[in-house]
Amino acid sequence: MTNPLLETWNTPFGLPPFDLIEDAHFAPAIETGMAEGLAEVEAVANAPEAATFENTIEGLMRTGAVLDRVLGVFYNLAGSDSTEKREEIMREFSPKLAAHSAAIYGNRALFARVEAVWQARESLDLTPEQARVLMLTHRGFVRAGAALEGDAAARMKEIKGRLATLGTTFGQNLLADERDWQRALSEAELEGMPQFVVDAVRAAGEERGADGPLLTLSRSVIVPFLQFCPNRSLREEAWRAWVARGENGGTTDNRNVAAEILVLRQERAQLLGYDDFASYKLETEMAKTPDAVRGLLMDVWHPAKAQAEADAALLEERMVADGVNGPLQAWDWRYYSEARRREEFALNEAELKPYLQLDRMIEAAFSCASRLFGLEFRALDVPLYHKDARAWEVTRNGKHVAVFIGDYFARASKRSGAWCSAMRTQRKFPDVQAPVVVNVCNFAKGDPALLSYDDARTLFHEFGHALHQMLSDVAYDMISGTSVARDFVELPSQLYEHWLEVPAVLQEFATHADTGESMPQEMLDKVLAAATYDMGFQTVEYVASALVDLTFHEGAPPADPMAEQARVLADLGMPESIVMRHATPHFAHVFTGDGYSSGYYSYMWSEVMDADAFEAFEEADGAFDPAMAQKLERFILSAGGSEEADVLYQKFRGRMPGVEALLKGRGLAA
């Protein structure tokens, strides 16, 4: 049987031949890719010649081409158009691929060669990009534990295994607590709540086979319930159950799990030669040090807390007018805040939507990219993986830049959320390769398809990631496009959202589906005001969580994480009526894996940068200032991970980002 995944693709732009690929082709192609990749790595590791940059670092980059190509297609299909077969392949190959990667990083002969090139780096006359990929390759091996020997290597293996188990346990305990708690609601207890909340608790009851409506801890049930339930003692009961997830005693209690995770992370960091886990984690980030993270968070904390306290006073007034004496409690905030929002900042979604047609918003995103970077978009008629997906050729001055695929509509086979991925990344080594970039969203279908304002922002956000991939201009795919630090990767995407808010853009593209008229200014003002509502609360609950996460991973691990959490919050002077967005026993970002541990701050770090970066345009000649656009492309969008993120940012902005623009954007500036 010929397998199209393993053949040369003689298709327009070398796109995957989607019309020929069948699910049965994936497993054998991945097996072949892994086997070939491993043989290629062995050849690099055991080469008879002395190690050089070319035969070792570039040699490694030549390996695994088949696997990369096959997985580029497979992961995209598994996420955007899953089938039972594709899920089965995913389950089968996740552990195999993890073992494949561990085998490469654990190859001692290979690491010895990488180490030899690293030691000789000063005498090699490398280009800046080559020096960068050498450093990243070497660091990747060291951080994976490749330099450890004997007992230390054995202990590292043990720690990694135990941490993986504990992370899974943490997540499963949380899920069990969310699944097991429920409370029957009487008809009388439904009074005063809007129909959609009543429908949600009835649906929850039906789903669990109860006689009547049920309150559960599923986010889509509990949050609206806390926003709309007028019965204060019922709100308190619901809120207490919600914040107790992972902290209920018994076999699903996460407090000891969290404590053990923190101890093992510290040991792992020290085995690798770092002072503590935060230093290990932040080394690869733009922030680099715990002090830099804390400095930024505290700059935001003080104004946010002041705003939250001012808002709390207003909400308490409402509560007293309701006949309830203070103080305002955590189970009151969402309820009175929602009432205030309805009165002061209400947006009529039904009136807004006809102005936000999907096709017009795609045009808007393309048009901004044309004005900023001279890109042009031409619809392509090529076979794709689903009939709803569309493709465009992206060119500049008549030269091919990329293929952009937009897959915008929700369907049962698509995972939720929105994302950008590359089926093929930009590179020049070992061959010149133009990127194939995909944006996947979950918008509702319609004729014409209409978006909410959040949807339109998502479209611009993902297109910002796509520009980072499409404008990438580096030699090696290891540092191409979005292969940058976690606290830097959201800069291009969040920054691009600002162009949606440029009045001229909305005026031209937010036109009514029936009348063709532009969105009225008054509606636009309301949209923008609604976006910053309740930011004091949201910032306080977020920053408190980020600071607790950071403190946990600095210095010696706490013997009792709950006591440490209480101490951090007391030092901050946490407002009485607000709690952490995620308390330790249910802080899944930090404890189900390593991704966001001592990294929860990175959402705000990126937001500080995007606000600061857009301000650079405003300080110049406005949103389309050509000199700023050129700098943005040169130092950020085309540069990928070719230099440290802070260096790139300073080249673009002339300085490091300050928090002022973010505070203004969130309505928190004094």
Rounded CA-CA distance 140/594 in Å is 15
Decide if 353 contacts 443 (C-beta within 8 A): no
CB-based burial label for 265 (10 Å; 0-12, 13-18, 19+) = buried
Closest CB to Zn ion among residues 585, 640: 640
Reduce the secondary structure of 557-619 to three states and give it as a string. CCCCHHHHHHHHHHHHCCCCCCCCCCCHHHCHHHHCCCCCCCCCCHHHHHHHHHHHHHHHHHH
Number of helical H runs and strand E runs in the chain: 27, 7
Binding residue count for Zn ion, defined by CB under 5 A: 2
Closest CB to Zn ion among residues 279, 493: 493
Q: Which stretch binds Zn ion (CB under 5 A): 206-214, 404-412, 422-430, 483-491?
A: 483-491
Measured between alpha carbons, how far is residue 497 from residues 153, 453, 491, 502, 520 in Å?
46, 11, 10, 10, 20
**Shortest Å, Cβ 437 to Zn ion:** 13
Q: Which stretch binds Zn ion (CB under 5 A): 178-186, 233-241, 486-494, 650-658?
A: 486-494
Match 């093992």 to its residue by tokens: 264
Q: Which stretch binds Zn ion (CB under 5 A): 38-46, 189-197, 491-499, 646-654?
A: 491-499
Q: Which stretch binds Zn ion (CB under 5 A): 10-18, 230-238, 492-500, 522-530?
A: 492-500
Q: Which stretch binds Zn ion (CB under 5 A): 174-182, 444-452, 488-496, 631-639?
A: 488-496
Asked about 462 being catalytic, the answer comes back as yes
**Shortest Å, Cβ 491 to Zn ion:** 10
Rounded CA-CA distance 298/540 in Å is 11
Phi, psi of 166 (to 5 degrees): -65, -40
- The strand pairing partners of 376, in sequence order, are 395
Closest CB to Zn ion among residues 417, 448: 417
Decide if 17 contacts 383 (C-beta within 8 A): yes
Q: Are strands 376-380 and 436-443 parallel, antiparallel or unpaired?
A: unpaired
**Shortest Å, Cβ 499 to Zn ion:** 15
Q: Which stretch binds Zn ion (CB under 5 A): 53-61, 176-184, 471-479, 489-497?
A: 489-497
Closest CB to Zn ion among residues 129, 610: 610
Q: Which has the closest alpha carbon to 146: 105, 114, 97? A: 105
Closest CB to Zn ion among residues 337, 493: 493
Rounded CA-CA distance 241/426 in Å is 49
Q: Which has the closest alpha carbon to 419: 435, 403, 405, 433? A: 405
Closest CB to Zn ion among residues 81, 607: 607
Q: Which residue is nearest to Zn ion (CB)?
A: 493
Backbone angle region of 582, left / alpha / beta, with phi > 0 → left and psi within -120 to 50 → alpha:
beta
**Shortest Å, Cβ 465 to Zn ion:** 6
**Shortest Å, Cβ 649 to Zn ion:** 17
Instruction: Note whether 469 binds Zn ion by CB under 5 A.
Output: no
**Shortest Å, Cβ 468 to Zn ion:** 10
Instruction: Note whether 439 binds Zn ion by CB under 5 A.
Output: no
**Shortest Å, Cβ 440 to Zn ion:** 12
**Shortest Å, Cβ 496 to Zn ion:** 10
Closest CB to Zn ion among residues 53, 614: 614
Q: Which stretch binds Zn ion (CB under 5 A): 126-134, 298-306, 407-415, 485-493?
A: 485-493
**Shortest Å, Cβ 461 to Zn ion:** 6
Instruction: Note whether 493 binds Zn ion by CB under 5 A.
Output: yes
**Shortest Å, Cβ 405 to Zn ion:** 17
Closest CB to Zn ion among residues 490, 612: 490
Catalytic residue among 316, 462, 564, 633: 462
Cis peptide before 430 (omega within 30 of 0): yes
Decide if 249 contacts 608 (C-beta within 8 A): no
CB-based burial label for 622 (10 Å; 0-12, 13-18, 19+) = exposed
Backbone angle region of 194, left / alpha / beta, with phi > 0 → left and psi within -120 to 50 → alpha:
beta
- Give the x-and-dash track for 499-518 against Zn ion (CB under 5 A): --------------------
Chain centroid offset of residue 371 CA = 27
Match 């941490």 to its residue by tokens: 163
CB atoms within 10 A of CB 642: 21
Closest CB to Zn ion among residues 221, 500: 500
Closest CB to Zn ion among residues 490, 549: 490
Rounded CA-CA distance 573/568 in Å is 9
Residue 376 amino acid letter: E
Residues marked as catalytic: 462
Binding site for Zn ion (CB under 5 A): 490, 493
